[in-house]
Structure 1
Amino acid sequence: MLRISRELAVPEQEIEWKAVRAQGAGGQNVNKVASAVHLRFDIRASSLPEPCKARLFQLDDKRITKEGVIVIKAQRHRSREKNLEEALDRLKALIRGAAVPRRPRIPTRPPLSAEARRLEAKKKRSLAKALRKRVTE
């Protein structure tokens, strides 16, 4: 069980991961050992609550495919275990962010004093520009 919060957890059967060779420099270790981790999590087939799934789909995140699969690649560390742990942490953070509903924005008005200051500044600016104009008789 991947524990997201006190009331939210994801069974390990829903998380699919595969060890692959990492990219980039690293010498013999990178060339021979499959230490990077590709993690896949299907949002539609998961046991997450429906509102959480909907918020995940609304995220504008490049890690979420059009089919609704979260794909995370972790390759920072030399060991597969640390990379798997990092990938799971990233998945946890993504789901945790979508689990909490956003509070609706309460529209507010600027105070009257701020509005008066703004209008006064506009009048001063207008006067300064008017004084630059050519004088006509």
Structure 2
Amino acid sequence: MSDDLPVRGSITIPRAELRWRFSRSGGPGGQGVNTTDSKVELRWNVAESDALPPVLKERALTRLAGRLVDGALVITASEQRHQLQNRKAAEIRLAALVRDAITPDPPARRPTRPSRGAVERRLENKRHRTLKLQNRRVD
């Protein structure tokens, strides 16, 4: 279990389902930027994964539809100079995206009306502010 990527609670992504790709990254790095493969691309196939229960999987597929490429979620990280740091950043980003995608919708807001006292206080404050601003005018 420690080999899995924790998402939320008991939900984890098996590391065997993660596909890594490395390439040279642009940006800072000095002479080493031309020799090290520090850019990381992390790919997780949501559609074929068994890591999520069917309900959460369907929710994730719906919410991540705009980010999926052939059913796979692709995360790219190249901010750091070291590959290991970029790998960790990509894992954190993947876990956060999946966590946000599987969280249930908040309960619907029950519309309410402001109380009569709240309406009266708001109108009284408006009148007071109008009078204060009118007194500042120079005619």
- Once the two structures are TM-superposed, the CA of residue 7 in structure 1 deviates from its matched residue by 1.3
Aligned residue in 1 for 2:14: 11
- Once the two structures are TM-superposed, the CA of residue 51 in structure 1 deviates from its matched residue by 2.5
Question: Which residue, out of 39, 62, 65, partners 1:36?
Answer: 39
Larger of the two Rg values belongs to structure: 1
Q: Superposition pairs for residues 1-137 of structure 1, below 5 Å?
A: 1-47=4-50, 48-59=52-63, 64-65=67-68, 67-107=70-110, 108-115=112-119
Change (3 A) 1:115 1:49: same
- Once the two structures are TM-superposed, the CA of residue 95 in structure 1 deviates from its matched residue by 1.3
Alignment coverage as a number of residue pairs: 123
Q: TM-score, normalised by structure 2?
A: 0.72
Q: Which runs of 5+ in 2 are unaligned?
A: 128-139
Distance 1:115 1:59 in 2: 39
Q: Which runs of 5+ in 1 are unaligned?
A: 126-137
Q: TM-score, normalised by structure 1?
A: 0.73
- Once the two structures are TM-superposed, the CA of residue 99 in structure 1 deviates from its matched residue by 2.8
- Once the two structures are TM-superposed, the CA of residue 117 in structure 1 deviates from its matched residue by 5.9
- What fraction of aligned residue pairs are identical, expressed as a percent? 37
* Larger deviation, residues 53-62 vs 24-33: 53-62
